[in-house]
Amino acid sequence: MEPAAVLDLFRSCGALLEGHFQLSSGLHSPGYLQCALVLEHPAHAEALGRALAERTRALAPTVALSPALGGVIIGHEVARGLGIRAVFVEREQDELTLRRGFHIAPPDRVLIVEDVITTGGATRATMRVAEAAGAQVVGVATLINRLGDHAFTVPFETLATVSLPTYAPSGCPLCAGRTPLVKPGSRHT
């Protein structure tokens, strides 16, 4: 699946939003990618997951690990495409952790799967959970990369890169212009 087709799919689902948004990272942006509006369609989720699975198959992962909430659906679809387990981490007292009986251990080869990566903070925190369990992180995969090079220490695959500016709240021109702030994500800082 080519990047233009991925972005066309997001536009057709109304998932590429414009305005003034607070991202999960706490940064502000004039653009937001609401992956849930694409992934609510099982056929779209399956096609996107299959495309990421094909790009990561050579890494030979044994488990897909995603941060909740945004990465859960696409992580499941990538795992389906690879024929491996899909598990997720979630916040407990502001720390990502494996819950619900999920287990990762040696010799698991973990592929971190995200919906959108902006700063890479949640991705790195998810990687730390896998590494603390003794598993090997073999790669990172995401539907949308918002900022370009994240300098991960493992292979990084994305279906599309979108350049949307981000601002610290203290220097946000949208705040200065009194544009109403919307917090559409699953976590607000």
Kindly report, residue by residue over 150-163, the tens digit of the pLDDT: 679 999 999 999 98
Sign of CA dihedral 134, 135, 136, 137: negative
pLDDT at residue 164, as a whole number: 87
Q: Is 170 helix (H, G, I), strand (E, B) or coil?
A: helix
Per-position DSSP letters for 92-160, written without gaps between them:
ETTEEEE-TT----TT-EEEEEEEEESSSHHHHHHHHHHHHTTPEEEEEEEEEESSS----SS-EEEEE
Rounded Cα–Cα distance for residues 154 and 80 (Å): 22
**pLDDT(12) > 60:** yes
Do 112 and 77 form a contact (C-beta atoms < 8 A)?
Answer: no
pLDDT at residue 98, as a whole number: 93
CATH fold of 3-176: Rossmann fold (3.40.50)
- CA distances to 68, 91, 105 from 135, rounded to whole Å, are 19, 20, 5
Q: For the chain, what is the mean pLDDT?
A: 92
Per residue in 32-44, pLDDT (tens digit) is 899 999 999 999 9
Per-position DSSP letters for 17-52, written without gaps between them:
EEEEEE-TTS-EEEEEE-THHHHTSHHHHHHHHHHH
pTM beyond 0.85: the answer is: yes
**pLDDT(26) > 70:** yes
How sure is the predictor about 94, in pLDDT bands with cuts at 50, 70 and 90? confident
pLDDT at residue 189, as a whole number: 40
Whose CA is closest to 65, among 114, 127, 112, 130? 112
Rounded Cα–Cα distance for residues 120 and 40 (Å): 24
**pLDDT(149) > 70:** no
Per residue in 56-73, pLDDT (tens digit) is 999 999 999 999 988 999
Per residue in 100-134, pLDDT (tens digit) is 989 999 999 999 999 999 888 899 999 999 999 99
**From its phi and psi, is residue 93 left (phi > 0), alpha (psi between -120 and 50) or beta?**
left
Provide, rounded to the nearest whole percent, the portion of the chain with pLDDT above 70. Answer: 96
